[in-house]
């Protein structure tokens, strides 16, 4: 009888596992193809590449590879790095939402960049515009145009990530801003970015958020710019104090599994005792 009891408990636990792992079911690698047309310093160019997000880990793994047809004189692709779409599908700290969740995967974007040296002198301005189209549940396409002028160092060695503050200004419109640092042998440049995302349908941000992008490695070989990093969405910081994480929400799946096990064990024990009592009465 005890064996039957154990079998019953195991069966109930196994039946509960799909519910327990629902939060990670469907996680995958999402791919966005990128097509770029540009004109910097009155020189036209094109570029194409791929961006990916792996949301099976937190923070999500982000990669980006873009190959340029030619590089305009007096400019370098690290200055005005095309990251306007890179965190679109990165994992979230609930109840934060990523761009894909809010927009349904289809949105337009516009970003203005102002590049300054460490002394505050403006070295250039650029504008990036484009749109993202969701093709399948795991594949997207982005078309981006970048225009502008630049007259500063052309030998950058690295670029940092950033934290973009996101704000829902109206239905179908989100704005964001950040400052990114680009290092050169003789100076550290500041890239000031202001971004607007627009979309139809979808939903809205539950509150102000931060889109995090961390760049771990970056290289420019030949005409190809590649970098890897991480991205995620979190709460906005208000008054210097981070809004608390919904700890109960994060622990809910574990609490549910533990409750299922306890209920199953109690039910099986009661069942066994009843059977044993019947046998005693029959004797």
Tell whether 11 is covered by a domain: no
Mean pLDDT of 20-39: 74
Tell whether 259 is covered by a domain: no
Give the separation between CA 32 and CA 48, rounded to whole angstroms: 11
Tell whether 150 is covered by a domain: yes
Rounded to whole angstroms, what are the CA distances from 230 to 63, 101, 141, 159, 187? 8, 18, 20, 14, 26
| Each residue's pLDDT tens digit, 93-145 | 999 999 999 999 999 999 999 999 999 999 999 999 999 999 999 999 999 99
* Global pTM value: 0.77
% of the chain at pLDDT higher than 70: 73
* Residue 46 belongs to domain spanning: 22-242
Query: Would the pLDDT of 23 be above 90?
Result: no
Regarding predicted confidence, which is higher, 187 or 268? 187
User: Tokens at residue 96, please?
Assistant: 């934060």
| Each residue's pLDDT tens digit, 192-221 | 999 999 999 889 999 999 999 999 999 999
Tell whether 250 is covered by a domain: no
Tell whether 226 is covered by a domain: yes
Tell whether 35 is covered by a domain: yes
Give the separation between CA 224 and CA 220, rounded to whole angstroms: 6
Confidence of residue 10 (pLDDT cuts 50, 70, 90): very low
């Amino acid at each position: 009888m005890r064996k039957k009891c154990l079998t019953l408990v195991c069966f109930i636990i196994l039946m509960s596992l799909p519910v327990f792992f629902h939060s990670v079911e469907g996680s995958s690698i999402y791919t966005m193809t990128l097509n770029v047309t540009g004109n910097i310093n009155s020189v036209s160019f094109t570029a194409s590449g791929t961006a990916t997000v792996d949301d099976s880990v937190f923070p999500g793994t982000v990669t980006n590879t873009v190959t340029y047809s030619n590089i305009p004189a007096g400019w370098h692709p690290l200055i005005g790095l095309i990251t306007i779409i890179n965190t679109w599908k990165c994992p979230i700290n609930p109840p934060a939402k990523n761009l894909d969740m809010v927009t349904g995967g289809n949105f337009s974007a516009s970003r203005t960049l102002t590049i300054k040296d460490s002394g505050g002198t403006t070295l250039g301005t650029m504008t990036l515009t484009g749109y993202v189209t969701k093709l399948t549940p795991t594949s997207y396409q982005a078309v981006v145009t970048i225009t502008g002028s630049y007259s500063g160092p052309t030998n950058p060695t690295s670029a940092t990530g950033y934290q973009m503050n996101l704000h829902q200004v109206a239905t179908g419109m989100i704005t964001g801003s950040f400052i990114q640092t680009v290092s050169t042998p003789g100076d550290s440049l500041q890239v000031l970015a202001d971004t607007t995302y627009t979309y139809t349908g979808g939903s809205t941000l539950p509150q102000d958020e931060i889109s995090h992008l961390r760049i771990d490695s970056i290289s420019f070989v030949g005409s190809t710019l590649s970098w890897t990093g991480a991205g995620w969405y979190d709460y906005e910081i208000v008054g210097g104090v981070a809004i608390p994480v919904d700890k109960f929400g994060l622990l809910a799946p574990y609490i549910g599994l533990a409750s299922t096990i306890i209920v199953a064990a109690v039910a099986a024990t009661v069942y066994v005792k009843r059977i044993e009592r019947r046998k005693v009465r029959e004797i």
